[in-house]
Structure 1
Amino acid sequence: MKKTVLYVALSQCLLWSAVAQTPKKTAPKAVAKPAAATTQGRIKFTEYDLPNGLHVILHQDNTTPLVAVTMMYHVGSKNEQPGRSGFAHFFEHLMFEGSDNIGRGDYMKIVKSAGGQLNANTSNDRTFYYEVLPSNKLELGLYLESERLLHAKVDQKGVETQREVVKEERRQRYENQPYGSFFPEVLKRAYTTHPYKWAPIGSMEDLNAAKIEEFRDFYKEFYVPNNAILSIAGDINVEDTRKLIEKYFSEIPRGPKAPYRPKVTEPVKTKEVRDIVYDNVTLPGVFQAYHMPAQGTPDYYALDVLQTLLAGGESSRFYKEIVDKQQKALQTSVFPLALEDPGLFIAIGIANMGTKAEELEAAMDTEVERVKKELVTDQEFQKVKNQIETNFVNQNARVAGIAESLANYKMYFGDANLINTELERYNKVTKDDLRRVANKYLTKENRVTLYYLPKAMEPKKEDKGK
Structure 2
Amino acid sequence: MKKLIFAFVTGMMLSACSTGIKTQTAATDSGNILPYPIYQHKMANGLNVVTVPFDSPGLAAFYIITRVGSRNEVEPGVTGFAHFFEHMMFRGTDKYPKEAYSAALKSTGAAANANTSQDRTEYHMTGNAEKLELMFELEADRFQNLNYSEHEFKTEAGAVKGEYTKNFASPYSQINEKLSETAFTTHTYSHTTMGYFKDIVDMPNQYEYSKTFFDRYYRPEYNTILVVGDVTAKQVNDLAEKYFGDWQHGSYVSKVPTEPQQTETRYTHLQNGSIPPYFSMNYKGPAFSDKQIDMPALDVLSSMVFSPTSDLYKKLVIDEQKVRFIGGGAQDSRDPNLFSIQVSMVNKDDMPYVKDEIEKAIAKVQTEGVDPVKLQRTKSNLKYSFAMSIDTPTAIAQSLSHYIQLTGDPESINRLYALYDDVSEADVKMVANRYFDPTRLTIATISEDEQGALQ
Q: 2: CA distance between counterparts of 1:394 and 1:32?
A: 31
Matches of 2:155 and 2:319, distance apart in 1: 50
Report the residue type matching 1:292 in the other structure.
G
Match of 2:152 in 1: 158
Identity of aligned residues (%): 28
**Is the Cα contact below 8 Å between 2:180 and 2:190 reproduced in 1?**
yes
Gaps of 5+ in 1: 1-9, 16-27, 460-466
User: Would the aligned equivalents of 1:57 and 1:407 in 2 still touch at CA under 8 Å?
Assistant: no
Structure 2, unmatched stretches of 5+, are: 1-5, 12-18
Paired letter, 2:305: L
Pairing 1:270–2:263 present? yes
**2:442 matches 1:451:** no
Q: CA deviation at 1:425?
A: 1.1
1:157 deviation in Å? 2.7
Query: Residue 161 of structure 1: CA displacement?
Result: 2.4
Whether contact under 8 Å (1:97, 1:105) holds in the other structure is no
Q: Does 1:121 align with 2:115?
A: yes
Contact 2:175 2:269 in 1 (8 A): no
Q: 1:429 to 1:13 in 2, by over 3 A?
A: same
Report the Cα distance in structure 2 between the residues aligned to 1:342 and 1:439, rounded to whole angstroms: 17
Aligned to 2:210: 215
User: Per the alignment, do residues 207 and 415 of structure 1 end up closer, same or farther by CA in structure 2, a change over 3 Å counting?
Assistant: same
- For 1:458, give the aligned amino acid: E
Question: Aligned equivalents of 1:161 and 1:204: distance in 2?
Answer: 17
The answer to whether the 8 A contact 1:285-1:349 is kept is yes
Please state if 1:51 is matched with 2:44: yes
Distance in 1 (alpha carbons) for counterparts of 2:197 and 2:101: 25
- State how far apart, in whole Å, the 1-side matches of 2:395 and 2:30 are: 20
2:25 to 24, 31, 34: 34
Q: d(CA) in 2 for partners of 1:408 and 1:330?
A: 30
- What is the CA-CA distance between 1:392 and the residue it aligns to? 2.7
Is residue 290–residue 441 contact of structure 1 (8 Å, CA) maintained in 2? yes
Q: 2 CA distance for matches of 1:90 and 1:270?
A: 35
The partner residue of 1:192 within 185, 208, 225 is: 185
Alignment length, in residue pairs? Answer: 432
* Secondary structure of the corresponding residue to residue 138 of structure 1: helix
Which has the larger displacement, 127-136 or 373-382? 373-382
Are 1:204 and 2:197 an aligned pair? yes
- Residues 146 and 248 in structure 1, CA contact (< 8 A), matched pair in contact too: yes
Secondary structure at 1:356 match in 2: helix
1:14 aligns with 2:5: no
Match for residue 253 of structure 1?
248
Relative to 1, partners in 2 of residues 1:108 and 1:443: Cα closer, same or farther, differing over 3 Å? farther
CA separation in 2, counterparts of 1:186 and 1:110? 43
Residues 393 and 442 of structure 1, relative CA distance in 2, 3 Å threshold = same
Report if the CA contact (8 A) 1:96-1:105 is conserved. Answer: no
Structure 2 residue 332 is the aligned partner of structure 1 residue 341: no
* Alpha-carbon separation, structure 2, partners of 1:344 and 1:64: 41
Bigger relative contact order, structure 1 or 2 (CA pairs below 8 A, ≥6 apart): 2
Give the 3 Å change call, closer, same or farther, for CA 318–85 of structure 1 in structure 2: farther
- SS of match in other structure, 2:25: coil
Give the superposition deviation at 1:13.
Answer: 4.3
Task: Provide the C-alpha distance between the structure 2 equivalents of 1:131 and 1:53, rounded to a whole number of angstroms.
Answer: 23
Within 1, Cα distance between the matches of 2:29 and 2:331?
33
Residue 100, structure 1, aligned to residue 94, structure 2: yes
Check the 8 A contact 1:67/1:235 in 2, yes or no: yes
User: 1:206 & 1:301 partners in 2: Cα distance?
Assistant: 37
Closer, same or farther in 2 for the Cα pair 1:110/1:383, shift >3 Å? farther
CA distance in 2, matches of 1:396, 1:97: 32
- The corresponding residue for 1:88 is 82
- Counterpart of 1:385 (choices 379, 388, 405) is 379
Task: Please say if 1:61 is aligned against 2:54.
Answer: yes
Aligned match of 1:6: none
Shift, 1:30, TM fit = 4.7
The structure-2 alpha-carbon separation of the partners of 1:335 and 1:326, relative to structure 1 and needing over 3 Å to count, comes to same
2:72 aligns with 79
Give the direction of change, closer, same or farther, for the CA distance of 1:70–1:282 in structure 2 (3 Å limit): closer
Question: Offset of 1:290 from its aligned partner?
Answer: 0.2
The answer (yes or no) to whether the contact 1:43–1:420 under 8 Å persists in 2 is: no
Name the SS of the counterpart of 1:181 in structure 2: helix
Distance 1:317 1:222, change over 3 A: farther
The separation in 2 between residues aligned to 1:165 and 1:319, in whole angstroms, is: 41
Rounded Cα–Cα distance in structure 2 between residues aligned with 1:106 and 1:186:
42
1:426 partnered with 2:420: yes
CA displacement, residues 294-341 of structure 1 (integer Å, 9 cap, x when unaligned): 1114222211221122223x2134421211122111011212121101
Which residue matches 1:7? Answer: none
User: 1:180-237 CA distances to partner (integer Å, 9 max, x unpaired)?
Assistant: 3222211111111111111111023213324211000000000011211111111013
Quick one: which amino acid aligns to residue 67 of structure 1? A
2:315 to 297, 321, 330: 321
Change (3 A) 1:13 1:101: farther
Alignment check: 8 A CA contact 1:67 1:132 kept: yes
Structure 2 CA distance for partners of 1:317 and 1:94, relative to 1, 3 Å = farther
Inter-CA distance 94–318: structure 2 relative to 1 (3 Å threshold) = farther
Matched, 1:242 2:233: no
Question: Which whole-Å CA distance do the structure 1 matches of 2:161 and 2:345 have between them?
Answer: 30
- Bigger shift: residues 106-115 or 188-197: 106-115
TM-score normalised by the chain length of structure 2: 0.88
Amino acid at match of 1:225: P
- How far apart, CA to CA, are the structure 2 residues paired with 1:280 and 1:98? 44
Please give the alpha-carbon distance, in whole angstroms, between the structure 2 residues aligned to 1:344 and 1:443: 12
Contact kept, 8 Å, 1:42 with 1:420, in 2: the verdict is no
Q: What's the Cα RMSD here?
A: 2.3
